[in-house]
A = this chain, B = another copy of it.
Amino acid sequence: MSAVPYLALVASAAALALAYYFAQVVLAADEGNDLMKEIGEAIREGAMAFLRREYQWVSAFVAVMFVVLLVVPIDGRPAASFAYLMGAVLSSIAGFVGMRIATAANTRTANAARQGAAEALPLAFKGGAVMGFTVAGLALLGITLNYLMWVKWFGVDDAFQVVAAFGLGASSIALFARIGGGIFTKAADVGGDLVGKVEAGIPEDDPRNPATIADSVGDNVGDVAGMGADLFESYAGAIVAPIVLISLLAGGTFISGTGKILDAGDAEALLMYPILIGALGMIASIIGALMTRGKEGQSLSTQLHTGQYVAMGLTVVFSVIGTLLLFNGAENPDGGDLVEKPIWLAITIIVGLLGGWAIGFVSEYFTSEHYRPVQSIAEQAETGPATVTIEGIAQGKLSTLPSVSIVVLMIGLSYWMGGAAFGDAGSEIGLFGVSLAAIGMLSVTGVIVAVDAYGPIADNAGGIAEMAHLPPEVREVTDSLDALGNTTAAVAKGFAVGSAAVTALALFKSFSLTAGSEVNLDINDTAVTIGLFLGAMTPFIFAALTMASVGRAAQAMIVEVRRQFAEIPGLREGKEGVKPDSRRCVDISTQAALKEMVAPGLLAVLVPLIIGFIDVNALGGFLAGAVVTGFMIAIYMANSGGAWDNAKKYIEAGAHGGKGTDAHSAAVVGDTIGDPFKDTSGPAMNILIKVMTIVSLVFVPAFI
């Protein structure tokens, strides 16, 4: 049992080593001709410049929070402050490294696409995998180190608060990275498209459009760095939540009186368990990633998904073995079995894994052109943009039905099984099972992020091929890679949103356990009711703020692009040697994103603090309202957005008359509306609900 943290350290180290190895492979590949190098350089520079400035701002925020955590009377000081800092720093490093390599992989994938998909796919995947394994490796490393350091070596009391603070650090970065990145990318995308395609009549990714480089930069800072920080946070949160929960639950269940489980010998196995599953899933993911390679004669989808399925299959096997080994012989203080039927815990992990996959499939169903929802949106394009929009909104909202059903089923099952493991199905200890479902879901984060980050790399490779005037067959190769990326992104979003709901729930339970008898969460309590209303409102306001930010930033971009087309002679006509001032556009997106991310970011952190200091019951209602409503909006916005995107692509591939028809124009409108839905407001919602819950959890001792 005491070997578990060291196994986790080894697994983390292996993940980081794999990331390093893949990074070397990517960097060693040929970057292509001078023009490609130049474009690649511009994108990398813009992305890094944004990240640096974003981190500057976020550093200030983190510094303030660091001090606040030192000063405010929460539990586990000062260790919690340092854990917070570590969560924030590790998440930042993961984002930085991942994006650095992703931007390098863009041009190299474009260049490799000249030799065909079998050359290009592994490169794009490896580029994404660097992010994936840096994220997962650093998160597992951080949690394990924190645990070893504060709990084992320094013997800090309230260890769970320290672990929670690590999660809060990760959330802080994720929050700003998602919002900032989301606004950057959509300002460039929406703004550039509206002037370029609509007014100037030039196609997407055309080098004449001054916003094209900013758009590519946006893909990297939004879809790669933002998503990486998001999944760092999800993964860390998923491991943190059951550790915190079991520390609190076990207080009453195992060692009545002491309030802590850590003194109880064998019971420590329960604290180790989430870390063990993380380590085993990591090893499975590494094996899976190594088995992903380009093979002639295999479909691209098979090539890309093999690794994922291998990782999932191995995780199942490893979890069963690991669980049985860990709890074999572990005893209660009274001499009974610590866990009566440990196999139920392993099955909970598996249920989580399958649940994540199922939610991913729902996302795919609602956003892939192979199924009815996207096709019906495309049909509605025949009667114009209004009907496209109505149908897209309806389909997105409808997609909450299967997604919620899966989550609810998963919660019910894992609650029952968590209890059954302790021979006490239906009791409060079942909550431990619920929290484990999220770990099951995210145990293979390494490959999930790899496959997800693959998407924007392929997308960007296509853009670079276009900008560098590579032959059309290269673009065809990158397009085939990109199309695949669209579905993989849907699956990753499914994992992210599904785990967010379950993790937030586990954190919420921890919050109310920490508050103990100081909090009354009966819905009939008027303060709880008021909290529910305010909580349900917050995701709407958050969505409104982020969408309006994209609108404003896009407007600024439109003004600049129009100016350049008007003032730079020969630009619109594509005269030899005339270049747009791309840097200005990157600057505009950067400034807009930094400015606009502050208000929604602070909202997420300050609102629960304000409510908590006024009334803890109201805060409980607030969190519950925010979690359930935020979950609905996250699914609805992500799926509506994805569906509009693919309805447009479906028409572009020839349905309903194809490009240039009225139906196509209508679908383009839907796609543009969907941009902030799926890439700004929707994904940020996942983090919103977790940030608010974890802030409340960490600060609850100060509230009461």
Contacts and interface: CB of A to CB of B under 8 A. Distances in A.
Contacts of A353: none
A380 interface: yes
Contact of A397 (B512, B521, B541): B541
Contact of A526 (B190, B431, B543, B631): B431
A387 interface: yes
A657 to B, nearest CB: 15
Nearest to A623: B523
B521 A523 contact: yes
Interface in A659-697: 668-669, 672-673, 676
Contacts of A632: 536-537, 540, 629
Interface in A374-403: 380, 383-387, 389-391, 393-398, 400-401
Contact of A532 (B190, B555, B628): B628
Given A404-B534, A529-B505, A524 B547 contact: no
B540 A387 contact: no
Given A541-B397, A669-B669, A629 B536 contact: yes
B412 A194 contact: no
Contacts of A440: none
Contacts of A528: 523
A256 B525 CA distance: 22
A278 to B, nearest CB: 25
Nearest to A624: B523
A386 B669 contact: yes
A198 interface: yes
Interface string A544-558: 110110110011001
A628 B625 contact: yes
Contacts of A411: 526, 529-530, 533
B621 A673 contact: no
Nearest to A391: B551
Contacts of A401: 537, 541
A438 B523 CA distance: 20
A62 B299 CA distance: 57
A142 interface: no
Given A194-B383, A537-B632, A669-B385, A532 B390 contact: no
A110 to B, nearest CB: 29
Contacts of A190: 386-387
A95 B521 CA distance: 42
B397 A532 contact: no
A60 to B, nearest CB: 27
Given A386-B669, A411-B533, 19 more contacts: A194-B387, A385-B385, A386-B668, A386-B672, A387-B554, A387-B555, A389-B669, A390-B550, A391-B548, A400-B541, A407-B533, A430-B526, A505-B529, A512-B523, A532-B628, A533-B631, A536-B536, A536-B628, A629-B632
A521 B523 CA distance: 6
A624 to B, nearest CB: 5
Q: Which 4 residue pairs across A and B have the least CB separation, nearest first?
A: A386-B672, A397-B544, A536-B628, A398-B544
A267 to B, nearest CB: 23
Q: Which of A380, A550, A629 has the most CB of B within 10 A?
A: A629
A565 interface: no
